[in-house]
Structure 1
Amino acid sequence: MSDISKLEPQRLWRWFDTICQIPHPSKHEDALAAHIVSWAQSRQLDVSRDSVGNIRIAKPATAGMESRAGVIMQAHLDMVPQKTDDSHHDFTTDPILPYVDGEWVTATQTTLGADNGMGMAACLAVLESDDIAHGPLEVLLTIDEEAGMTGAFGLQSGWLQGEYLLNTDSEQEGEIYMGCAGGEDALITLPITWQTAPADTTHLRIEISGLKGGHSGCDIDTGRANANQLLARLLSKAQNQFDFEISALSGGTLRNAIPRQAEVILHSKQSLADWQSFVSAFEAELKAHLGHTETGLQCTLESSDAAKQTLTAASQIRLISLLMAAPNGVMRMSDVIHGVVETSLNLGIVRLESDHASLCFLIRALLDEGKEMVKHQLTSLASLSESDIAFAGSYPGWAPDDQSPLMHLVKACYVDAYGFEPKINVIHAGLECGLFKQPYPHLDMISYGPTIKFPHSPDEKVEIASVAKFWQQTQLILANIPQAK
């Protein structure tokens, strides 16, 4: 166990420490799921997994609470795997290494997994406790939330019994969420052709790195740069000064993380020294423009091995033009909820393959109209660039309900504990709540959690004091759930 297991509340932090020790990136949650199932069985709790791999654990009501309405506490099993450029961490085999950094807990060179490991730890800590009052309780742990919401999509009706659902996947203590954005993936595929690589040229690799990255929903309005966009700007500008041919290009790793790194390998008729002057000047321009936000930004140049093939001139022009024209970031702010993004998209992944280049976007929108607007824009871009486009993984938003009894109960608990009301908000991120409404339309839901900064990036950290408040709020909510209808 690490030092974080000594933090208060200890039961919750011990569970989070255990979660960190068992690798659980998206698509690789089985080891953690098996550990949790085995633990629940050892406690004689009612535990099962459904056909897609979600876990349900039921615990009877504590004495005197048997007539209260049933509550479902919910979190997701997986975490986003992001690491620093110099890290050799393997998320499928290596544990996360958390440590205390002042008033925060963070991890060594990787994402921490507080999103949503801290919520999962709270769910398991309640199951473990014998001193927390609650009515009939279920814990639902879903799979693959970060990479496609497979678990939420596969949730079947009739498995869960509760009337209220506490989603623990929000990231700002003091805010209670009652709605979220929906989303959809978009993939633009540009056909490309190759030619034999030219002889007597300079072979070089240019990398843009050191960006902060972050959550493509929560951080999309923070001014953080997208490495794919910056690489496109570099190539577009270089076209006016150099003769070069692209042999490889890639950027980003996840559709729902703002890309921190992108690179290109070129054959050029100009010297390495000429390119070094250009790259250094370009880096200086970026730092002048973005340096207050992107304090670690770097543009590096090095020699590279010769490639056998490079893009034809026509394919290269179309690729650079497509990358430059690709929209990214905030498309519209909400007219209804001040300060909340209504519609956005993230150019998360760019790859150069054997016969095509691919651009993967994640669209987020509070309103279907906003999502459709972006889809039409991307479709038009694909048409102009003679590319193909496909959409997949659409998931609904969670429509706010200002009459929610659970929301009003949580607000009252907050006032009783702290003397002021929490902020009731809508989050520009994809919570699973909208999908839960399909098999369970009766569920009354809220989302809450401790303060987590920079999720989906190696800078991720969770505020220690906010975890204690999150734990206190959880106990108050469970103790004050009303009688069953």
Structure 2
Amino acid sequence: MTTLSQLQPQALWQWFEQICAIPHPSKHEQALSAHIQAWAKDKQLDVVEDKVGNLIIKKPATAGMENCKTVVLQAHIDMVPQKNADKEHDFEKDPIEAYVDGDWVKAKGTTLGADNGIGMASALAVLGADDIAHGPLEVLLTIDEEAGMTGAFGLEAGMLEAEILINTDSEQEGEIYMGCAGGVDAQLTVPMVWQSPEPTNASYKLSVSGLKGGHSGVNIHLGRGNANKLLARFLFDHADELAIELTQFVGGSLRNAIPREAAISFMIPPENLTLLQTRIGEFQALVREELAIADPGTLLTLEEIPAEKQVMSEDCQQILVDLLNACPNGVIRMSDEVEGVTETSLNVGVISTESDSVQILCLIRSLIDSGRSEVEGVLTSLANLAGANVEFSGAYPGWKPDNSSPVMASVRQTYEAIYNKEPTIMVIHAGLECGLFKKPYPEMDMVSIGPTIRYPHSPDEKVNITTVGQYWKLLLAVLERTPAKD
């Protein structure tokens, strides 16, 4: 069986194998960061950890390229921790079980971390090589990109000397990215009043699973099922008919991942069990028909659970169900300027039941500030109507496209020279860190490239081996063509 370290380019894949072996979910990147710092010091490279935890590693130019502009290769250290329900895995302790499947690298039951582990591996492989031509080189590895962009927010002016930044967090070979969406987190809090259930009622748990999920930006236009929204729809259609008394609603785990799984706990009169089972079967058939192409594996599972001591009051339950059912989700608007790219979207990402409330965490993305503001207004109106509270936090700017970018032109020309075809110049509906870097480094010229990665932020994540080689070849050629200082 082929192992990662046997793949080409070998130096890149050897680094990715090491990255997979060291746990590094968002907020828990310390072990991988320490490993990289120790390696850099052993290679006698200049390495600094800034006050928020970002790593900056510098390497002198190769012979003859000392007068070139300084280039920074940028990736983020953290990965999204998502796993299938039947997979035993602790992302803070267990390595990622990566394996080769034909022309793809996948992981067993979890996210792979190719987002952005391949980009990180490529930057480290360049640092470690003696036979790659480049000018003065910096590598910036940021923390916490997937859970709040803490590293990018905390990057200070003066830490980098580079005039050119190559972001390695794109996920489609043959596409060059020159812009991205901005975003903001929205948390809706629905106050809860609890009451005693009907004494003869029985308790059950209804779970939704089998959905594909995925990246709430890159995959949002694919029309996949959202487990939170599906259960809200079921409750809206059948809660009254079945005399459901809700006790809990939980779903999703990350605001930037389309929820694959969700569950509600509730109590019903025992005589309604047969009707409940019928309605579940009908709803599953309906959803599978609706999502036959986009998400055909929807599975609803009912199980009996121990009796609950309290249930949501009738008014609170009604407000919660109405709010969730009315909440927009998915694509809000497609871009008029960039064909095939989502302009504005909303992901109803995480629902949790607390002692005094139910909290709903969403992520709004938009290529334009007014689009983001419009959705903020919609959620505010819904909260006002429901008597709920909404808070917006963690707003980050988009990366405004620059058609006159010299580095974008250089990457495009280099790609054409290597592959004898034109790459696609794109804007991505995801939150690259480039927009945040523009604040401390407004004059820095930026571009984003990467290999083909499918289904990031889900256990179906996989990276195409051939395109990793193509991306690597392009990256080295771009570095070799670094322009001279003005």
TM norm structure 2: 0.99
SS of the counterpart of 1:23?
A: coil
**2:347 is the counterpart of 1:310:** no
Deviation digits for residues 371-391 of structure 1 (CA, Å, limit 9, x no counterpart): 011111111011000111100
1:104 corresponds in structure 2 to 104
Deviation digits for residues 175-222 of structure 1 (CA, Å, limit 9, x no counterpart): 000000000001111111001232111211100111000000000000
The aligned amino acid for 1:443 is M
Change (3 A) 1:174 1:320: same
**2:286 is the counterpart of 1:289:** no
The runs of 4+ residues in structure 1 deviating greater than 4 Å are: none
Write the distance in 1 (CA, Å) between the matches of 2:382 and 2:180: 28
1:327 corresponds in structure 2 to 328
SS of the counterpart of 1:33?
A: helix
Query: Which segments of 5 or more consecutive residues in structure 1 lack a partner in the other structure?
Result: none
1:2 Cα offset (Å): 7.7
Equivalent residues of 1:220, 1:329 under 8 A apart: yes
Map residues 9-408 of structure 1 onto 2, 5 A cutoff: 9-269=9-269, 270-408=271-409
Equivalent residues of 1:2, 1:98 under 8 A apart: no
The aligned amino acid for 1:73 is L
SS of the counterpart of 1:321?
A: helix
Equivalent residues of 1:2, 1:17 under 8 A apart: no
Write the distance in 1 (CA, Å) between the matches of 2:337 and 2:440: 29
Deviation digits for residues 223-252 of structure 1 (CA, Å, limit 9, x no counterpart): 101000000011111124211201111010
The aligned amino acid for 1:327 is P
1:415 Cα offset (Å): 1.0
Write the distance in 1 (CA, Å) between the matches of 2:27 and 2:296: 33
Write the distance in 2 (CA, Å) between the matches of 1:244 and 1:423: 52
SS of the counterpart of 2:106?
A: strand
2:455 corresponds in structure 1 to 454
Write the distance in 2 (CA, Å) between the matches of 1:288 and 1:346: 22
TM norm structure 1: 0.99
Write the distance in 1 (CA, Å) between the matches of 2:132 and 2:395: 38
Write the distance in 1 (CA, Å) between the matches of 2:475 and 2:290: 44
Equivalent residues of 2:242, 2:272 under 8 A apart: no
SS of the counterpart of 2:258?
A: coil
Percent identity of paired positions between Structure 1 and Structure 2: 55
The aligned amino acid for 1:68 is C
1:271 Cα offset (Å): 4.1
1:442 Cα offset (Å): 1.1
Write the distance in 2 (CA, Å) between the matches of 1:203 and 1:357: 19
2:434 corresponds in structure 1 to 433
Write the distance in 2 (CA, Å) between the matches of 1:336 and 1:300: 43
The aligned amino acid for 1:241 is E
SS of the counterpart of 2:214?
A: coil
Query: Which segments of 5 or more consecutive residues in structure 2 lack a partner in the other structure?
Result: none
Write the distance in 2 (CA, Å) between the matches of 1:341 and 1:307: 43
Write the distance in 2 (CA, Å) between the matches of 1:413 and 1:292: 38
Change (3 A) 1:283 1:214: same
SS of the counterpart of 1:482?
A: coil
Write the distance in 1 (CA, Å) between the matches of 2:275 and 2:181: 47
The aligned amino acid for 1:188 is L
Deviation digits for residues 29-67 of structure 1 (CA, Å, limit 9, x no counterpart): 000000000000000000010000000000000000100
The aligned amino acid for 1:477 is V
The aligned amino acid for 1:374 is V
Deviation digits for residues 139-191 of structure 1 (CA, Å, limit 9, x no counterpart): 00000000000000000000100110000000000000000000000111111
Write the distance in 2 (CA, Å) between the matches of 1:196 and 1:411: 66
SS of the counterpart of 1:380?
A: helix
The aligned amino acid for 2:172 is Q
Deviation digits for residues 243-298 of structure 1 (CA, Å, limit 9, x no counterpart): 12011110100000000011011110134333212211111111111122223210
SS of the counterpart of 2:176?
A: strand
Write the distance in 1 (CA, Å) between the matches of 2:374 and 2:126: 43
Write the distance in 2 (CA, Å) between the matches of 1:265 and 1:239: 12
Deviation digits for residues 104-126 of structure 1 (CA, Å, limit 9, x no counterpart): 11000000000000000000000
Equivalent residues of 1:204, 1:272 under 8 A apart: no
Write the distance in 1 (CA, Å) between the matches of 2:277 and 2:303: 9
1:421 corresponds in structure 2 to 422
Equivalent residues of 1:40, 1:46 under 8 A apart: yes
Equivalent residues of 2:2, 2:100 under 8 A apart: no
Root-mean-square deviation (CA, aligned residues, Å) is 1.0
